[in-house]
Amino acid sequence: MEDDIQTTSLNTLFKTKDIGEAAFLVSLDFLLLRLERINNTNKFYFVFKDKEKCELNIRKYWNNSIQVTPRKYFEAYKSLKARIFAEEEK
């Protein structure tokens, strides 16, 4: 996985600060590459591969034109929160 992160062009990465968007993408099985801390704060970007597909699905998310299983979304949300708290302790 580390090789995937290093060889992925920055132009193909999708970043969001919105945990709701990130949980939605994770629930659609998009690969979360990493969390990026924003300027030494306790805020993070969620970084995903395949910017074009992520942007397309995020538009569908905001237009309410796509659905995910509520349980899968909730599990993704909880998992992301746990990762944020683990990163904050570093």
* pTM attached to this predicted model: 0.84
Domain ranges of the chain: 2-88
21-69 pLDDT, tens digit each: 999 999 999 999 999 999 988 899 999 999 999 999 999 999 999 999 9
Question: Which contacts qualify for 74-80: CB closer than 8 Å, 24 or more apart?
Answer: 75/27, 76/22, 76/23, 76/24, 76/26, 76/27, 77/19, 77/20, 77/23, 79/26, 80/19, 80/22, 80/23, 80/26, 80/32, 80/46
